[in-house]
């Protein structure tokens, strides 16, 4: 009887791996520490290559039905009123999905969970928190806490998809190298129709401002605004107070009466990459092995690309008897050495570009966006790169 693959974490990465392996008739145990799938407001952007990969899992139609198709995004300068617009139709010849799909990440995990119910070879164990693991040449032994009791599960491989604070990574003693930004980011959602008060507002906007930059984007349900906070502020509680949030929104667009607030979150931002992506029969995936600031929406998308890459290799290892050590080393070369270098570089650059408040730098930045958007060849290259098409193609080509 073959031992199951044990996956820790039912976020986007773990869910995609579970369904990919289930479809290949591989036994899977999917552990989730919470009693149900988390509904937290984090990633909301699916880039074109992620949508193409998700087609293969048969989940794309319900995603398109629920999500918002956004085929243009803008870089706005509040001071000059200039708007550089990038229309993703420019990449219609190289992708079946020339748009960003705005959809909460929990919608994907719920859609996949519904699919998984059809597969008797998959057990989804809620309320099961991975505490640690051991391994030898033949198997992994995974220690889990369930209802306050310790349990031990045995599997063929362990996939650490348990997010940025990964117990799998910590248990393997793998360093999470990089840094944490001093400031926090504040995200607030509101049902206020910004599209009615800002002219020609697209559903994704990067907004520069002499005082404070922000990102305004629409998810499938609400508008979301993201601002950086002051890195020197000690009283972080103030950012979540109603008065502060109302004042922020009034600065963005003054109006009579209060804004209606859907949710508010203050979170730390990191740029970190795990020193190793695998150890023996254990492999790390998604936020468990890389994390970055959310400008550009590359974190979850990168994790999905990891998951599809690894799923292919695991199917070859388990169903075709290929050597796991060689294929896991290949996964690391493709996903750590190339893909993550791209994402880390771009997200750090994106943040630097947004936060520069020297008027001269701001003017040059907007001029660069305007010139790029106005030149069809440059605009296409810009859109392709930011849609993660180039980095995925290049990483897949690595031998």
The residues in 256-315 that bind ligand FAD, with binding defined as CB under 6 A, are 267, 286-287, 294, 297-301, 303
Phi-psi region of 232 (alpha: psi -120 to 50; beta: other; left: phi over 0): alpha
CA distance 278 to 300: 19
Of the pair 292, 372, the CB lying nearest ligand FAD is at: 292
Of the pair 317, 388, the CB lying nearest ligand FAD is at: 388
CA distance 329 to 232: 42
Of the pair 90, 388, the CB lying nearest ligand FAD is at: 388
* Closest CB 359 distance from ligand FAD, rounded Å: 29
Tokens of 315: 């199917």
Residue of the chain from 3, 23, 38, 332 that contacts ligand FAD (CB under 6 A): 38
Please report the beta strands in the chain, taking only residues with DSSP state E, as ranges in sequence order. Answer: 5-8, 28-32, 45-46, 68-70, 72-77, 83-87, 100-102, 122-126, 128-135, 140-146, 149-155, 157-160, 176-190, 204-208, 214-218, 223-228, 261-274, 278-279, 282-284, 290-291
Q: Select the span of 2-10, 195-203, 248-256, 317-325 touching ligand FAD (CB under 6 A).
A: 2-10
Q: Select the span of 34-42, 54-62, 207-215, 254-262 touching ligand FAD (CB under 6 A).
A: 34-42
Residue matched to tokens 């570009």: 353
The residues in 167-196 that bind ligand FAD, with binding defined as CB under 6 A, are 167, 187
* Closest CB 310 distance from ligand FAD, rounded Å: 12
CA distance 335 to 319: 22
Question: How many residues at the interface with ligand FAD, by CB under 6 A?
Answer: 34
* Closest CB 303 distance from ligand FAD, rounded Å: 4
**Interface mask toward ligand FAD for 124-163; x: CB under 6 A:** -----xx------------------------------xxx
Tokens of 137: 């040449």
* Closest CB 57 distance from ligand FAD, rounded Å: 15
Give CA separation, 170 vs 12, 174, 317, in Å. Answer: 20, 6, 25
**Interface mask toward ligand FAD for 72-111; x: CB under 6 A:** ---------------------------------x------
Q: Which of 376, 161, 136 is nearest to 289 (CA)?
A: 161
Residue of the chain from 33, 97, 169, 365 that contacts ligand FAD (CB under 6 A): 33
Of the pair 165, 357, the CB lying nearest ligand FAD is at: 165
* Closest CB 27 distance from ligand FAD, rounded Å: 18
CB-count burial class (<10 Å; 0-12, 13-18, 19+) for 110: middle
Please answer whether residues 188 and 261 qualify as being in contact, where contact means their C-beta atoms are separated by less than 8 angstroms.
Answer: yes
* Closest CB 158 distance from ligand FAD, rounded Å: 11
Describe the strand order of the beta sheet including 149-155 as a list of residue ranges. Answer: 128-135, 140-146, 149-155
CA atoms within 13 A on the CB side of 185: 21
Q: Select the span of 10-18, 148-156, 320-328, 356-364 touching ligand FAD (CB under 6 A).
A: 10-18
Tokens of 300: 């979850």
Residue 13 in the binding site for ligand FAD (CB under 6 A): yes
Residue 45 in the binding site for ligand FAD (CB under 6 A): yes
Which residues in this chain contact ligand FAD in the complex, by CB under 6 A? 8-14, 31-34, 38, 42-45, 105, 129-130, 161-163, 167, 187, 267, 286-287, 294, 297-301, 303
């Amino acid at each position: 009887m073959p031992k199951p693959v044990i996956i820790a974490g039912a976020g986007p990465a773990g869910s995609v791996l579970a369904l990919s392996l289930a479809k290949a008739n591989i036994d899977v145990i999917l552990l989730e520490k919470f009693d149900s799938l988390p509904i937290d407001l984090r990633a909301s952007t699916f880039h074109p290559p992620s949508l193409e990969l998700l087609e293969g899992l048969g989940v794309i139609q319900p995603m398109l039905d629920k999500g918002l198709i956004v085929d243009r995004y803008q870089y706005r300068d509040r001071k000059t009123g200039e708007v550089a617009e990038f229309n993703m139709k420019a990449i219609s010849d190289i992708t079946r999905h020339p748009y960003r799909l705005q959809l909460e990440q929990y919608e994907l995990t719920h859609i996949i969970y519904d699919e998984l119910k059809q597969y008797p070879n998959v057990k989804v164990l809620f309320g099961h928190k991975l505490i640690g693991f051991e391994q030898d040449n033949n198997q992994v032994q995974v220690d889990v806490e369930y209802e306050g009791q310790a349990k031990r599960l045995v599997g063929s491989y362990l996939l650490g998809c348990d997010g940025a604070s990964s117990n799998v990574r910590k248990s393997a003693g793998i360093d999470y190298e990089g840094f944490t930004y001093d400031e926090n980011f504040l995200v607030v959602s509101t049902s206020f129709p910004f599209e009615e008060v800002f002219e020609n507002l697209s559903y994704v906007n990067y907004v520069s401002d002499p005082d404070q930059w922000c990102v305004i984007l629409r998810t499938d349900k609400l508008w979301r605004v993201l601002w950086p906070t002051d890195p020197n502020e000690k009283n972080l509680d103030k950012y979540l107070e109603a008065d502060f949030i109302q004042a922020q929104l009034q600065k963005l667009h003054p109006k009579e009466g209060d804004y209606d607030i859907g949710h508010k979150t203050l979170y730390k931002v990191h740029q970190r990459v795990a020193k190793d992506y695998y150890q023996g029969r254990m492999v790390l995936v998604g936020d468990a092995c890389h994390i970055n600031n959310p400008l550009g929406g590359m974190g979850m998308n990168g994790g999905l690309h990891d998951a599809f890459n690894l799923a292919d290799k695991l199917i070859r290892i388990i169903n075709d008897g290929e050597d796991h050590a060689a294929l896991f080393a290949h996964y690391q070369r493709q996903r750590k050495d190339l893909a993550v270098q791209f994402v880390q570089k771009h997200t750090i650059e994106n943040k630097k570009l947004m936060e520069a408040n020297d008027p001269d730098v701001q003017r040059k930045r907007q001029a660069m966006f305007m010139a790029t958007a106005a030149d069809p060849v440059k605009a296409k290259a810009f859109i392709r790169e930011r849609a993660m098409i180039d980095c995925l193609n290049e990483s897949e080509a690595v031998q």
